[in-house]
Amino acid sequence: MSQAPTTTSDDVPFRYTAALAEQIELRWQDEWERRGTYFTPNPSGHLTDGEGRHADPAARPFYVMDMFPYPSGAGLHVGHPLGYIATDVVGRYRRMCGDNVLHALAFDAFGLPAEQYAVQTGQHPRTTTEANIAIMQRQLRRLGLAHDPRRSFATIDPDYVRWTQWIFLQIYGAWYDEDAVRADGGRGRARPVAELAEEYASGARPLPADVEGVTPGATWADLDEATRRRVVDSRRLAYLSHTPVNWAPGLGTVLANEEVTADGRSERGNFPVFQRSLRQWNMRITAYADRLTDDLDRIDWPEKVKSMQRHWIGRSTGARVRFAVQGGSEVEVFTTRPDTLFGATFMVVAPEHPLLDEVPAAWPDGTHDVWTGGHASPADAVTAYRAEAAAKTAVERQQDAGRKTGVFTGHLAVNPVNGALLPVFTADYVLMGYGTGAIMAVPGGDERDFAFAQAFELPVVHTVDAPEGAPEGARTGDGVVINSANDEIDLNGLTVAEAKDRVVAWLAERGAGEKTVTYRLRDWLFSRQRYWGEPFPIVYDEDDNPIALPESALPVELPDVPDFSPRTYDPDDADSEPEPPLGRNEDWLYVELDLGDGPRRYRRDANTMPNWAGSCWYHLRYLDPRAEDAVVDPELEQYWLGPGHGHQDASSVGGVDLYVGGVEHAVLHLLYARFWHKVLHDLGHVRSAEPFHTLFNQGYIQAYAYTDERGVYVPAAEVVEDEASPTGFSYAGEPAHREYGKIGKSLKNVVSPDEMYDAYGADTLRVYEMSMGPLDLSRPWETRAVVGAQRFLQRLWRNVVDEQTGELVVSEEAPSTETLRLLHRTVADVREDMEAMRINTAIAKLIVLNNHLTTLERAPRAAVEALVTMVAPVAPHIADELWHRLGHERSVVHARFPEADPAYLVEDTVTCVLQVAGKVRGRAEVSPSVTEDELRALALADAGVQRALDGRDVRTVIVRAPKLVNVVPA
């Protein structure tokens, strides 16, 4: 292994230069591959370690995972590997602490960019995607990541797609039983739909009333085949429905709510999005709203991500209240403030609300002119307003937020608490998609209602007391209830919370309302009109009924089509229709199958699944990417993910021990994956209740970019600091303006890892990226600072190897007490830092130790070996090389991380700080066991203390032995 380097610095053949680093790194990468060094053994099955053994029962499993990459054609920049290096360091550290570490990297390879790239180049997306994966794998291999190569896969692999489709069928084949008791004692879980049909058939469960063809009092036996099917289909967790969906004509596809930005545009491509009613696949994620919220308390995630998920799910506790409408109908509202019911002075329904399908023929008495919008009849006014609202794009709605428009509908509703007649308006500030699409408006208690009341000259009644001189507007805070009493109920004098309970109880008694919970979360729109995604394992019969394909028909593979791109339209053409590319291959689209009742012709579903599908369950696939018998082997799942596995305590929900990735997936991937995992949990496929137990959001590496006078980006690498330039920087002699932000080709500030490998080597890049700052912080890339990391490794190298001869220079003598003290202090501190993922400060302490060894004539072997093992997680190549040169046969990967000897952690003297009035005036070397009295005397006798006291009396002396004394003058 230790042949002479071929490339050397002029006169120092064994100096740790970029050339030598490269040689060492490539050699060890090959060696690791040859030996299967990073093969992670499972407790059973075909995956063993590099020496053919199953997992050591004494080793605790530790599962570390990265958010897997999307293999784009652009290649990596130095910002990309940050998280991968961090997980690698943690994984290597845990391995050296004796854990069985699972760490691998797959590829998230379906999706729009690959499809668009394929369209541009005229190549099949599979061809371009696989080529990109190969490039990325090469770039990542050069980093020396300790991944088990046997566990890599891509979401586009047919045997992965097969299981993605299988999971879809599980979800399709399940319904949510709100009453079923779970293992954890809670209520509600998914069950197979076959059991639902049995319960309907036996009469154990009443038939739903909201399905077409189910008449009141009907039994299962009364229903025809088509109705039975509709009943069951209406309860599935994956279901087809005609619902308003987000249609982006410019993209040619529909999108999930999570993929639409707040201003009503597509997250990808920034195209306008329109609401269209289309028949699409949906996933009943709303059934899990409560559990998705509650279980956030049981996982170790950044509070920021938890709060984003909580907010996205938007659980809100309040009441439903029913108002009779004159003319016989009824309108139900949702409110979080039932205590303000006496302050309701009008009502508002969304423009899409069914109450508006019929309106009174003429304006009732008492109609204000401003309410009618100048229309002659309610029908005219409502029709006009509905049309106006429907034509509004989401962007316009967004811009109009705050400005209140609306029109009176002619309807009058009766306030159940006081019989007051309330005019019913329609206005687009009330959304059909939330609550019941109707509100009771309380301008005295709600700012939006107040603004509407101002615009439409409606009365304001306050129901919460306010101090003298309080403004006229809505009182949204807590307070004492006023103006709220009728013959049967008196809320006056109560707090808001008390009044809520009281009025809800009263409403419930009279059947006019009840306490309820509502959510902001909507079901997940799950079909896309794209080519490059998983096809649905669904066919349709001649009546257009969906039929699940049997497992034996999986995977349903993508057909070749003449053109991969979805049909796109003018981005503003709201009336266009989605047209999926898969529909272009009729040979594939129509298929003859025998699904139990003889060969018949079926039509396949031409949609594909969204990009998120593959990332919902890849954490299960790493356990055994070749598993064929089950989505995941239960034994492996319990071992790597199960509740109470490895480092987790027995009451844990289970899940990946450390999941690292950017915060941008806070409500997309991370919510969807939790949902799928919970369905699989309910159906008995996994014991863990959550996929990711601990989540860590790494920051981003950013960079400076520079523009010239015209605002055009200039190559950042060629910009120099220049005092003569008014901006402080110049490019080609001209002033350059500096900005700070993303790394990107268009910004001309990309630094690729390959450049760093060439100039410094992978270990230096790793040390630099890990030492730049705390992992969760974004920080600027600075190429000129990388040399600091290289100097550290060079000094480490020189402490072991003679630069001229290549011979070992370590001393075989025992280290001095001073060295041992520093060594053990360093070991203790580095362990603590590593456990807390403070890799930056761990490196700082390793540098201190290394610098100390540098000052010695010869570094003692015992200290050097400990240092090399501690450096190994961060700089694995140089560590293995030095370890080998120090005479070890097995890789340092298998060495144990050093443990601190407590005997060397106690100092025999401590520096005690002597303060006067909190300011340091002196220091004293004292024994750690010094008494308070001794310290007090010592401090008062100190010259610096006396000088600072300047003759003043001493009021008191605070002693914190042995570190600090504070003398407080009078």
Partner RNA sequence: GCCCCCGUGGCGGAACCGGCAGACGCACUCGACUCAAAAUCGAGCGCCGCGAGGCGUGAGGGUUCGAGUCCCUCCGGGGGCACCA
Site for RNA in 819-838 (CB under 7 A): 829, 832-833, 838
Residues in 640-669 at the binding interface with RNA, rule: CB under 7 A: 663, 667
Q: Are 185 and 294 in contact (CB under 8 A)?
A: no
Cα separation, 796 vs 785, whole angstroms:
18
Stretch of 422-430, 576-584, 633-641, 890-898 lying at the interface with RNA (CB under 7 A) = 422-430
Instruction: Out of 252, 423, 435, 614, name the contact with RNA by CB under 7 A.
Output: 435
Instruction: Out of 296, 412, 424, 430, name the contact with RNA by CB under 7 A.
Output: 430
Stretch of 62-70, 293-301, 792-800, 930-938 lying at the interface with RNA (CB under 7 A) = 792-800
Cα separation, 295 vs 291, whole angstroms:
6
Residues in 346-365 at the binding interface with RNA, rule: CB under 7 A: 350
Residue 963 beta carbon to RNA: minimum distance, rounded to whole angstroms: 5
Residue 615 beta carbon to RNA: minimum distance, rounded to whole angstroms: 18
Is 789 a residue that touches RNA (CB under 7 A)?
A: yes
Smallest CA-to-CA distance from 903 within 960, 802, 810, 820 is with 820
Is 952 a residue that touches RNA (CB under 7 A)?
A: no
Is 773 a residue that touches RNA (CB under 7 A)?
A: yes
The number of beta carbons lying within 10 Å of the beta carbon of residue 210 is: 8
Smallest CA-to-CA distance from 142 within 189, 195, 204, 88 is with 88
SS (H, E, C) 167-216: HHHHHHCEEEEEEEECCCCCEEEEEEHHHHHHHHHHCCCCCCCCCCCCCC
Is 794 a residue that touches RNA (CB under 7 A)?
A: yes
Q: 643-664 in b/e burial notation, b at 16+ Cβ within 10 A? A: bebbbbeeebbbbbbbbbbebe
Compute how many residues bind RNA; rule: CB under 7 A: 86
Is 745 a residue that touches RNA (CB under 7 A)?
A: no
Instruction: Out of 466, 787, 808, 809, name the contact with RNA by CB under 7 A.
Output: 787
Is the Cβ of residue 328 or residue 918 nearer to RNA in the bound state? 918
Is 717 a residue that touches RNA (CB under 7 A)?
A: no
- Output phi, psi for 672, to 5 deg: -60, -45
Q: Are 725 and 714 in contact (CB under 8 A)?
A: no
Residue 70 beta carbon to RNA: minimum distance, rounded to whole angstroms: 19
Q: Are 64 and 87 in contact (CB under 8 A)?
A: yes
Is 848 a residue that touches RNA (CB under 7 A)?
A: yes
Is the Cβ of residue 594 or residue 721 nearer to RNA in the bound state? 721
Burial (0-12, 13-18, 19+ Cβ within 10 Å), 749: buried
The number of beta carbons lying within 10 Å of the beta carbon of residue 177 is: 19
Q: Are 704 and 740 in contact (CB under 8 A)?
A: yes
Q: 333-343 in b/e burial notation, b at 16+ Cβ within 10 A? A: bbbebbbbbbb
Instruction: Out of 840, 886, 932, 938, name the contact with RNA by CB under 7 A.
Output: 840
Residues in 328-347 at the binding interface with RNA, rule: CB under 7 A: 334-337
Is the Cβ of residue 215 or residue 851 nearer to RNA in the bound state? 851
Q: What is the pairing mode between strands 346-349 and 421-426?
A: parallel
Is the Cβ of residue 53 or residue 947 nearer to RNA in the bound state? 947
Is the Cβ of residue 49 or residue 428 nearer to RNA in the bound state? 428
Is the Cβ of residue 427 or residue 631 nearer to RNA in the bound state? 427
Residue 271 beta carbon to RNA: minimum distance, rounded to whole angstroms: 18
Residues in 512-541 at the binding interface with RNA, rule: CB under 7 A: 518, 520
Spell out the long-range contacts of 169-173 with Cβ–Cβ below 8 A and sequence spacing 24 or more. 169/537, 169/548, 169/549, 169/551, 170/679, 170/680, 170/683, 170/685, 171/236, 171/237, 171/238, 171/283, 171/676, 171/679, 172/236, 172/237, 172/238, 172/538, 172/548, 173/236, 173/548
Cα separation, 693 vs 644, whole angstroms:
11
Encoded one letter per residue, x for contact with RNA by CB under 7 A and - for no contact, window 207-246 reads: ----------------------------------------
Residues in 373-392 at the binding interface with RNA, rule: CB under 7 A: none
Residue 448 beta carbon to RNA: minimum distance, rounded to whole angstroms: 5
Alpha carbon 509 to chain centroid, angstroms: 44
Is 968 a residue that touches RNA (CB under 7 A)?
A: yes
Instruction: Out of 181, 218, 387, 401, name the contact with RNA by CB under 7 A.
Output: 401
Smallest CA-to-CA distance from 111 within 746, 738, 687, 610 is with 610
Instruction: Out of 854, 909, 929, 931, name the contact with RNA by CB under 7 A.
Output: 854
Residue 266 beta carbon to RNA: minimum distance, rounded to whole angstroms: 14
Instruction: Out of 851, 909, 929, 931, name the contact with RNA by CB under 7 A.
Output: 851
Cα separation, 460 vs 552, whole angstroms:
66
Instruction: Out of 358, 541, 734, 782, name the contact with RNA by CB under 7 A.
Output: 782
Give, in order, the Cα–Cα distances in Å from 603 to each of 234, 547, 600, 707. Answer: 21, 10, 10, 56
Residues 6+ apart with CB under 8 A from 498: none
Alpha carbon 444 to chain centroid, angstroms: 39
Is 950 a residue that touches RNA (CB under 7 A)?
A: no
Is 437 a residue that touches RNA (CB under 7 A)?
A: yes
Residue 245 beta carbon to RNA: minimum distance, rounded to whole angstroms: 16
Beta strands in 589-677, from DSSP E residues, in sequence order: 590-594, 599-604, 658-661
Smallest CA-to-CA distance from 285 within 257, 260, 264 is with 257
Amino acid at the residue 580: P
Spell out the long-range contacts of 582-589 with Cβ–Cβ below 8 A and sequence spacing 24 or more. 582/531, 582/535, 582/558, 582/606, 582/607, 582/608, 585/559, 585/560, 585/561, 587/559, 588/559
Is the Cβ of residue 156 or residue 939 nearer to RNA in the bound state? 939
Cα separation, 189 vs 231, whole angstroms:
19
Residue 247 beta carbon to RNA: minimum distance, rounded to whole angstroms: 18
Residue 275 beta carbon to RNA: minimum distance, rounded to whole angstroms: 13
Is the Cβ of residue 34 or residue 403 nearer to RNA in the bound state? 403
Is 763 a residue that touches RNA (CB under 7 A)?
A: no
Q: Are 844 and 833 in contact (CB under 8 A)?
A: no
∠ Cα 87 92 93 (to 5°): 100
Is 817 a residue that touches RNA (CB under 7 A)?
A: no
Stretch of 45-53, 189-197, 884-892, 916-924 lying at the interface with RNA (CB under 7 A) = 916-924
Residues in 696-715 at the binding interface with RNA, rule: CB under 7 A: none
Is the Cβ of residue 591 or residue 787 nearer to RNA in the bound state? 787
Residues in 279-318 at the binding interface with RNA, rule: CB under 7 A: 303-304, 307-308, 311-312, 314, 316, 318
Q: What is the pairing mode between strands 438-441 and 546-548?
A: unpaired
Instruction: Out of 403, 468, 511, 711, name the contact with RNA by CB under 7 A.
Output: 403
Is 814 a residue that touches RNA (CB under 7 A)?
A: no
Residues in 248-267 at the binding interface with RNA, rule: CB under 7 A: 262
Is 671 a residue that touches RNA (CB under 7 A)?
A: no
Is 493 a residue that touches RNA (CB under 7 A)?
A: no
Residues in 447-476 at the binding interface with RNA, rule: CB under 7 A: 448
Residue 432 beta carbon to RNA: minimum distance, rounded to whole angstroms: 7
Residue 318 beta carbon to RNA: minimum distance, rounded to whole angstroms: 5
Instruction: Out of 429, 612, 659, 706, name the contact with RNA by CB under 7 A.
Output: 429
Amino acid at the residue 296: L
The number of beta carbons lying within 10 Å of the beta carbon of residue 509 is: 11
Residue 452 beta carbon to RNA: minimum distance, rounded to whole angstroms: 8
Is the Cβ of residue 376 or residue 920 nearer to RNA in the bound state? 920
Is 1 a residue that touches RNA (CB under 7 A)?
A: no
